[in-house]
Structure 1
């Protein structure tokens, strides 16, 4: 297994472009990662990466070796999956990503019950509101909330999630009730922005009588955590665009109220994404089946309750 582990480390270093990132991904130290790459290079008799103090780049030999190495790992995964499917006992570790609020409120609690049914499957759950690269980050599946880009990923639709523009009554009392997206821009309303490294200029696409229209909004506060934006909105700091299931309780209590109702946002698509080859893996398939059912049930309850 040592040689396979060395290959697995090489593939993750190649895909992540960093020895330390690959080490974190494989839950080991940078020193161990470097030693595995060095051992693989000695075995092959070539240098696989050019290293500088600031960057790491694959050599021509490294690029040649990557496709074959990736194929080796996929063949092993397929073989293991076939055995697990034949024995009806999925096992192993799966790497999952989800948006923060959905992950905390729905996915994470459901993992506990999932493990009761499938104790031989370990779950590594990563929560973030940023967009993730499922393939490059070595994920088995990711729950995605928002527009879906064209890709080679297997997409399983879960639900269309209605979204709303909301603010605290105290904010509306202080700044007035904006009727539509144009008023958000014209009156320079404080819009609470979800931003993360690599995010483009911020716009809200809203529904108008003439079809979709993008409004370039702005505000003094932004965060890469959607729950922080909700907290700021509750504190009267501004207007936030949120999936309705995340704020249903606050709408019921009146802690948040709808604004700009003449130009509502479009629903966000909630989907489960996975590399096509990963979806054939029994442990990935049984996890995605379980969580999709949980998500659909939880969303129905929150939106109808």
Structure 2
């Protein structure tokens, strides 16, 4: 087995705390991942992990070795990136992530096209509406709707996305059309929220004549999948706050109706977020350039 591959698995086990998750991350079975850790421990002559039924935590030796292993992997990655830059033939794996909605509509369908253009780059895509810790999970690029909150990361804006509040005509016929933002928080209306551990969307921010206003909206149920919220809204179950490009087709065909147009939600930025050192890697630059052009083109078409 390659010593460097063993190091990669070891680092991901420390970061993910789970042998199976680290194996999946490195495209190895749990058995192979376990053998790589055992081989490292035999070679070093120390135990690297304290093992429980659910989690692996590094020993003191493991923590010290992790710090050195990360530096080795970063140095090799940087060296490979430099060679790829000189050879104009980038290769290796790149990990990207995106929320479910934009991932399905914009990112996932572009991965095969990107690979056709750069066949030596392996793309590992993860779609999730949950907050993903980019640093600890080894993500190279995250395509996100939102703002940059981690100073250890860098952001490249792709485009500013208008948001809208809307509901189905059936819902509005039964519950009435809100005329002011205050009507969203009286308890008379059901707002459909994107919620998950660590979610920030427990409120909606609307643009008013007095400036942005946060509303602590609520409803009888919520989901961690934004497309589920749209489906519920189409079924007449409540009001949603969504990027316009995600619901424009429903607004055009009349299955959803915009409301509170004089006090719309604050727009949100679609951006590529990445650890600052990763942008030195030509694979990362190519991916961001490729997806930026693609997202701008596809969103523009959706908004026509």
Return the alpha-carbon distance in structure 1 between the equivalents of residues 102 and 17 of structure 2.
29
Whether the 8 Å contact between 1:165 and 1:241 is mirrored in structure 2 is yes
Are residues 193 and 63 of structure 1, via their aligned partners in 2, closer, same or farther at CA, if it must alter by over 3 Å?
same
Shift of 1:7: 0.7
Shift of 1:200: 5.5
What is the match of residue 299 of structure 1?
Answer: 299
User: Which piece of structure 1 moves more, 41-50 or 4-13?
Assistant: 41-50
Are residues 21 and 65 of structure 1, via their aligned partners in 2, closer, same or farther at CA, if it must alter by over 3 Å?
same
Superimposed CA distance per residue, residues 197-230 of structure 1 (whole angstroms, 9 cap, x where no aligned partner): 3335721122223322221211122111111111
SS of 1:47's partner is coil
Shift of 1:188: 3.0
Whether the 8 Å contact between 2:160 and 2:270 is mirrored in structure 1 is yes
What is the match of residue 153 of structure 2?
Answer: 153
Return the alpha-carbon distance in structure 2 between the equivalents of residues 44 and 119 of structure 1.
37
1:1-305 matches, within 5 Å, as 2-199=2-199, 202-303=202-303, 305=304
Whether the 8 Å contact between 2:194 and 2:201 is mirrored in structure 1 is no
Structure 2: stretches of 5+ with no match in the other structure = none
SS of 2:149's partner is coil
SS of 2:113's partner is helix
TM-score by length of 2: 0.95
How many positions carry a matched residue from both structures? 304
Shift of 1:69: 0.3
Return the alpha-carbon distance in structure 2 between the equivalents of residues 280 and 164 of structure 1.
37
SS of 1:154's partner is strand
Are residues 148 and 71 of structure 1, via their aligned partners in 2, closer, same or farther at CA, if it must alter by over 3 Å?
same
User: Which piece of structure 1 moves more, 231-240 or 257-266?
Assistant: 257-266
Whether the 8 Å contact between 2:131 and 2:198 is mirrored in structure 1 is no
Whether the 8 Å contact between 2:18 and 2:54 is mirrored in structure 1 is no
Return the alpha-carbon distance in structure 1 between the equivalents of residues 301 and 114 of structure 2.
20
Shift of 1:52: 1.9
Return the alpha-carbon distance in structure 2 between the equivalents of residues 269 and 201 of structure 1.
15
Over the aligned positions, Cα root-mean-square deviation in angstroms equals 1.6
SS of 2:71's partner is helix
Shift of 1:297: 1.8
Whether the 8 Å contact between 1:188 and 1:218 is mirrored in structure 2 is no
Are residues 66 and 277 of structure 1, via their aligned partners in 2, closer, same or farther at CA, if it must alter by over 3 Å?
same
Whether the 8 Å contact between 1:179 and 1:262 is mirrored in structure 2 is no
Shift of 1:41: 1.4
Superimposed CA distance per residue, residues 53-83 of structure 1 (whole angstroms, 9 cap, x where no aligned partner): 2332212211111111001111111111111
